[in-house]
Amino acid sequence: MELLQTLLATLVALGVLVTIHEWGHFWVARRCGVKVLRFSVGFGKPLWMRTAADGTEYAIAAIPLGGYVRMLDEREGDVPEALRNQAFNNKPVLQRIAIVAAGPLVNLIFAVLAYWFLFMSGISTVVPLVGGVAAGSPAAVAGVDSGYEVLEVDGHPVRTWNEVNLRLAARVGESGIIELMMGDPKRGYAHSYQVEINDWSVDLERESPLSALGLEPWQPSFPAVIGQLLPDGVAARDGLKVGDKVLSVDGESVEDWLHLVRLIQSSPSKSLQLSVEREDGRHTVVVTPESRTFEDGRVHGYIGAGVAPVEMPESMQRTLSYGPVDALVNGIHKTGQMISLTLDSIGKMIAGVISVKNLSGPITIAKVAGTSAASGLESFISFLAYLSISLGVLNLLPIPMLDGGHLLYYVVELVRGRPVSEQVQMLGLRIGMALLFSLMALAIINDIARLF
């Protein structure tokens, strides 16, 4: 069932974003008088196809990892004399620029509308209250206190942990001062902390910028109650059941879920005697955690069990909701922030500040799509908006094969007054193909590595 949900969520996500991207090209091409031969969602053999009265073929193809709009073009075949004025290559350069740019721009507009809808309907979030500060961390060195809400990061107001993380992510790899304004807005208390960073390195695969800075979000106390079990995990195999409350491990009383996790992680391959409470009384279960070795050599115990959910206190919940105009302003601002962060991350990845291990491919996209869909409509729409921004920004990069590569050629043509030569375009195409296929291979390798 989970696999089916992941597949459906992935198909919906890619289907929606690819369709609107190609529709952008299609809509502007038609407005510029270009004859469209085929509008395809997906590549490969068509699974469904219909020909409209104007001769345009609409198709859904077997490989849902993209799509295309095929336009009449003399560079791709013979064009009857009567239709030459409808060929893409015969249109003025400004019209060709508009047609090519329309796809990525529609992706960015979609993101604005998605965020506008979310801000209109209300985004449920948690107050960014600091629950703890890791010893020796940059935040601890700066004297940051727990028990207070994060109000601003570098002068920018923040209302959620997501906003805090995004502001901190923009500083990864930098040196200087991160200014945190913290306090209790209800009591009017606020204090500024200067957190010093020096070539701030964050392994984004293992930790968030928030945890790397040393800030731990406040959480309600989680009792040591088993809420979920992996079907093939150690906990299920050794006899633990959903609903079990763990009272002690090898005679040591368990305070809460985090205490239980620490005891499990510190005991790889060691048999542990767990005293658990069930509806029919107390039971003893012997569990032997698996050993998991991390790249830095750390070895942790793991049993494949998850905590039972605990309801967040109402005082810690916050809903961000706006009227139509303010929601649109916030949607534009959020999209702009995500575009800036995406470009900044690409630049830092090229410079080596951020590891290329953070590149993600179709497997990771599918997993995130399934998880966000399971979390509800709000989470899924937010994921769609972020993925749409990524698609729009990446397609605008000046890489041959991408829309941005074509735009680069047309801008050069606009400046020079004549097209870029076919030889240069073919050379660029080969370079672009090699670069894109290398990035795709690296992303898929990263995906496979994350699975294990």
Verify that 361 and 447 share a domain, yes or no: yes
Mean pLDDT, residues 296-307: 84
- The predicted structure's pLDDT at residue 2: 63
Q: Token digits for 148?
A: 């207070």
Residue 401 has pLDDT above 90, yes or no: no
Q: Token digits for 220?
A: 């309600």
Contact between residue 23 and residue 110 where contact means Cβ atoms under 8 Å apart = no
Last residue of a domain, one of 307, 341, 364: 307
Q: Which domain holds residue 13?
A: 1-20+93-122+323-452
Q: Is residue 25 part of a domain?
A: no
Contact between residue 84 and residue 90 where contact means Cβ atoms under 8 Å apart = yes
Mean pLDDT of the chain: 88
Last residue of a domain, one of 277, 307, 337: 307
Q: Is residue 332 part of a domain?
A: yes
Domains of the chain: total: 4
Verify that 346 and 409 share a domain, yes or no: yes
Angle at 381 between CA 375 and CA 385, to 5 degrees: 135
Q: At residue 211, what is the residue type?
A: S
Verify that 437 and 368 share a domain, yes or no: yes
Contact between residue 234 and residue 302 where contact means Cβ atoms under 8 Å apart = yes
- Give the residue ranges of DSSP H helices in 51-159: 93-121, 138-141
Q: Which residues, at least 6 apart from 345, have a Cβ–Cβ distance to it below 8 Å?
A: 169, 354, 358
What is this structure's pTM? Answer: 0.81
Q: At residue 115, what is the residue type?
A: Y
Verify that 66 and 82 share a domain, yes or no: yes
Smallest CA-to-CA distance from 233 within 288, 187, 190 is with 288
Rg (CA), the chain: 27
- The residue to which tokens 């727990």 are assigned: 146
Verify that 366 and 436 share a domain, yes or no: yes
- The predicted structure's pLDDT at residue 221: 84
Verify that 154 and 10 share a domain, yes or no: no
Verify that 110 and 166 share a domain, yes or no: no
> According to the per-residue pLDDT averaged within each range, which of 10-14, 151-155, 198-202, 440-444 is highest?
151-155
Mean pLDDT, residues 204-208: 76
Q: Is residue 26 part of a domain?
A: no
Q: Is residue 63 part of a domain?
A: yes
Confidence of residue 207 (pLDDT cuts 50, 70, 90): confident
Q: Is residue 157 part of a domain?
A: yes
Verify that 200 and 255 share a domain, yes or no: no
Verify that 354 and 385 share a domain, yes or no: yes
Confidence of residue 310 (pLDDT cuts 50, 70, 90): confident
Q: Which are the catalytic amino acids? A: 22
Confidence of residue 427 (pLDDT cuts 50, 70, 90): confident
Comparing 185-199, 208-222, 287-301, which segment has the lowest mean pLDDT?
Answer: 287-301
Contact between residue 217 and residue 162 where contact means Cβ atoms under 8 Å apart = no
Residue 23 has pLDDT above 90, yes or no: yes
Q: Which CATH number goes with the domain that contains 252?
A: 2.30.42.10
Q: At residue 336, what is the residue type?
A: G
Smallest CA-to-CA distance from 17 within 390, 407, 338 is with 390
- The residue to which tokens 């796809």 are assigned: 103
Confidence of residue 42 (pLDDT cuts 50, 70, 90): confident
Verify that 446 and 426 share a domain, yes or no: yes
- The predicted structure's pLDDT at residue 113: 97
Residue 407 has pLDDT above 80, yes or no: yes
Q: Is residue 279 part of a domain?
A: yes
- The predicted structure's pLDDT at residue 3: 65
Q: How does 185-207 read in b/e, with b if 16+ C-beta sit within 10 Å?
A: eeeeeeeebebebeebebeeeee
Verify that 130 and 63 share a domain, yes or no: no
Comparing 110-124, 377-391, 393-407, 423-437, which segment has the lowest mean pLDDT?
Answer: 423-437
Verify that 331 and 449 share a domain, yes or no: yes
Confidence of residue 451 (pLDDT cuts 50, 70, 90): low
Last residue of a domain, one of 307, 333, 367: 307
Taking every pair of Cα atoms in the chain, the longest distance, rounded to a whole number of angstroms, is: 89
Judged by DSSP in three states, 446 sits in helix
Q: What is the pLDDT of residues 43-90, one digit of tens each?
A: 888 889 999 998 899 999 888 777 889 999 988 888 888 889 999 999
State which H helix or E strand residue 277 sits in. strand 272-278
Q: What is the pLDDT of residues 154-197, one digit of tens each?
A: 999 999 998 999 999 889 888 999 999 998 877 778 899 999 99
Q: Token digits for 291?
A: 């050993």
Report the percent of the chain where pLDDT is more than 90. Answer: 47
Confidence of residue 368 (pLDDT cuts 50, 70, 90): low
Is the model more confident about 363 or about 148?
148
Contact between residue 40 and residue 26 where contact means Cβ atoms under 8 Å apart = no
Residue 383 has pLDDT above 60, yes or no: yes
Distances (CA, A) of 253 to 224, 235, 247, 259, 275: 11, 19, 6, 9, 9
> According to the per-residue pLDDT averaged within each range, which of 2-16, 47-61, 288-302 is highest?
47-61
Q: Is residue 232 part of a domain?
A: yes
Confidence of residue 225 (pLDDT cuts 50, 70, 90): very high
- The predicted structure's pLDDT at residue 361: 66
Q: Token digits for 427?
A: 């050379």
What residues pair up with 290 in beta bridges, in sequence order? 302
Q: What is the pLDDT of residues 331-351, one digit of tens each?
A: 999 999 999 988 988 888 887
Judged by DSSP in three states, 299 sits in strand
